[in-house]
Chain A
Amino acid sequence: MNRSTCLILLGAALSLSGCDSSRAPSFQLSEQSQELSGFAQEKVQGELEAGFGTPSELVVWPQLEVDFGQYTGTVGKIGPRPGTLKVGASDSDGLSPASTLASISRLGELRGAAIVVSTAQPGVTPLESGESTASDVGPDATEKADVYRVASYDVESRLLSVVNAAGTPAQLSMAEGDTVKIVGGVLQDGRNLYLRHCMHCHGVSGDGEGPTAQYFRVRPRDYRQGVIKFTSTKATVPRPSRDDLFRIVKLGVPGTYMPSFMLLPDDEVKAIVEYVRWLAMRGEMERKLNAWLSLDYSQAAVQDTLENSSVAEIRAGFDEVWADESSGNIERYGEELQMDWQEADKPESVVNPILPRTPVSSESIKRGRDIFVGTKAKCASCHGETGRGNGPSTEGINDLPGQPGVKADKAGLFDIWGNIVKPRDLTTGVFRGGRRPIDIYRRVHSGIKGTPMQAFGTTLNEEEIWDVVNYVLSVPFNDSSNVH
């Protein structure tokens, strides 16, 4: 009798500690930001919150190259209760998708998404529905617009309840015939799925420091530099394409703890991909702000200046600089983000050879092997003569990746996230970026971003790369290199 009461209590205690819903996820400032002096930190935090919000209150920054998900419709009858309205003038039309991914976000679950109402003004052409890019999500300059949040949307009755920022039913100042746009559904879906499937490794802010990350030798990716390793894009294109991310999430990264999400439906993966891109942009924005402020306003820099000026003076100087430059800089950073990420999705950014793969033959493999150990590409300097990943560079002091001339303080090869990376042991036949010939071709052509393996697309011509690919794919089956 006693034992059973005990078990029940224990059960209750476990469930209480297990589902602590009061700990809402929040974005953490990066380490670099934390090195800024307090007042600068505050501004960075404020700016990030204005542009991106918090995990529970996402903000749509229309300029970003993210498909936030958008629906459009017209305002029908207002009412019956305060803050509610019917969407669509006739019986047939409700909200219709206006971005490529909009249909992903389930209409009934738009809760929290932003609703933008623009009043039809005489002389202004009304918005076209249909395909739109991220940048026409927000209100146009020519429109008078009000922004609310969706409390609920009932698909059947097309009844939209709207709340204002404080969460109370909004005083609607709209009229029948106005245009409503509902934005952010995809980002919210992405957020929910990310928190469920990815956060425990990649962290809420995408810093690769989730609670389970400590168990892995290969660290989960920190997205905040906008760099991922295995892309189809050219070496000169710094960002991954949507397709690259989609493929990585679907197939996982074999040989690491990054799992395959093969069985997640495509539309869910697409929503996650948008969210990951958005997290990366948020991280980049933070880095850009840091790069600007850290020179003069890091804690160390402030300490130095304190010798010939007072705290108040530094503070005043900062406020002036901020007032003068911040809005211009932030606009520029936003444009840079937009350009970089737009470029990654352009068809011409993808590495696609003109020549098909050279048919596998012992001659081709031999030529590939010669290049591999030769002086032109020096693959063997990292991967070793037998491809086991134990070349001489792994024991020397090398330059840090992306910083020629800056030596690492320890022996070994480092990636831009500060981890030691071992050149792949090619005898295992496990390829993290995919095992298709085109994958290996792209690895050699544009290198592995963020790692010391640089691009060989300019050193080697297409035929040579295909020979190398044939050699690399033959290594696991090559007895002479397989002897232990």
Chain B
Amino acid sequence: MVNKFWPLFFMFWPILAIVSFVIAPSMDWWFPGPAMSKFGEQIDNLFYLILVIVAVTFVGTHVALGYVLWRGVDNRDTKAWFSHGSHNLEVLWSIAPAGILMFISLYQLDVWMQFRVKSHFPEGTTPIAEVTARQFEWRIRYAAPGKKLMTTPQPDDLYTVNDLHVPFGRPVSIRLRTMDVQHSFFVPELRVKQDAVPGTVIPVWFDTMRPGEYDLTCAELCGWGHYKMRGRVVAEKESGFQQYLLTLQAEQNFDGVTRPEHSGAQIAEYGIEDSQ
């Protein structure tokens, strides 16, 4: 029995891998829910494809290894056969992985281009906000309602922090910057992750399929307060988004006399003038 230790040892890992794949979703070890963006679904598909390839390879090689060892343990009589290499085999196991890698890199090219290359952004992607990461918060700048977001601040721009509102159902983009060190804009449910790099402005686009609130976190250890960089992305109907901008505008132009016309909710969130 002791002789079977190594074959069993190598068989144990593929079994563990399969068991953890199977129970992961029910143990909540999986994604934070299904992708909430169309683009996120593509990312998930790529993820699953690679997962399957890797899993088959891993399980296959371990099963083969286990099998060979198992056979060898039982078969003490036949003399071992020494090989000084097989040219054909070498070629085979170089070409097969290379082929697989080549396949993956070509297959994902579309998605990669779509995410990274501005000219391949989906049609109609509109820049809606500039998001500036800073130790330890997300500062957000919108253009005034009805205006285009300019690259430099404008007098009528609207500002807020940690709370990015977007219209759902269509692709939107942000201008991602950082004021200090490197940060990373990460919205797990939308499957968007992009580093913010000092000195550059990086356009990031995403879409949201359903209205709702999604966690925004920083995915780059950026200092002692890294954990504090929690924000949220609020996806809402186009009209709700426009209303949000109008409320923000009214709040921001408040002069203590002219009562802003607002829906109440937002101003109440800032808390203030209503209570006096």
Contacts and interface: CB of A to CB of B under 8 A. Distances in A.
B85 interface: no
A18 interface: no
Given A347-B276, A353-B255, A353-B257, A260 B161 contact: yes
Interface stretch (A117-125, A247-255, A311-319): A247-255
B75 interface: no
B139 interface: yes
B276 A350 contact: yes
Nearest to B159: A435
Interface string B150-180: 0001110001111100000000000000000
Contacts of B161: 251-252, 254, 260, 262
Given A251-B270, A473-B155, A263 B162 contact: yes
Interface string B240-257: 000000000001111111
Interface residue SS majority, chain B: loop
Interface string A381-416: 000000000000000000000000000000000000
Interface stretch (A42-50, A108-116, A354-362): A354-362
Contacts of A266: 268-269, 271
Max chain A Cβ within 10 angstroms of own Cβ: one of B160, B251, B255, B258: B255
A350 B230 CA distance: 33
A366 interface: no
A347 B275 CA distance: 10
A390 B176 CA distance: 32
Contacts, number: 83
A352 interface: yes
B42 interface: no
A374 interface: no
Contact of A356 (B160, B255, B271, B272): B255
B116 interface: no
B114 interface: no
B270 A354 contact: no
A361 B256 CA distance: 20
Max chain A Cβ within 10 angstroms of own Cβ: one of B162, B256, B276: B256
A262 B155 CA distance: 24
Contacts of A352: 256-257, 276
Given A247-B270, A247-B272, A477-B155, A437 B255 contact: yes
Contacts of A252: 137, 161
Given A254-B139, A436-B252, A438-B254, A247 B271 contact: yes
Nearest to B153: A429
A75 B270 CA distance: 40
Interface string B119-139: 000000000000000011101
Interface of A: 212, 215, 232, 243, 246-247, 250-252, 254, 257, 259-260, 262-263, 266, 347, 350-357, 360, 429, 435-438, 441, 473-474, 476-477
27 contacts: A212-B224, A243-B271, A243-B276, A246-B271, A247-B270, A247-B272, A250-B269, A250-B270, A251-B161, A259-B137, A259-B228, A263-B162, A263-B230, A263-B231, A263-B232, A266-B268, A266-B269, A350-B276, A351-B256, A352-B257, A429-B153, A436-B251, A436-B253, A438-B254, A441-B255, A476-B153, A477-B154
Given A251-B161, A263-B162, A266-B271, 8 more contacts: A246-B272, A247-B270, A254-B139, A262-B160, A355-B257, A435-B252, A441-B255, A441-B256
* Closest 5 pairs (CB-CB, A-B): A357-B255, A438-B256, A356-B257, A260-B161, A437-B255
Interface of B: 135-137, 139, 153-155, 159-163, 224-225, 228, 230-232, 251-258, 268-272, 275-276
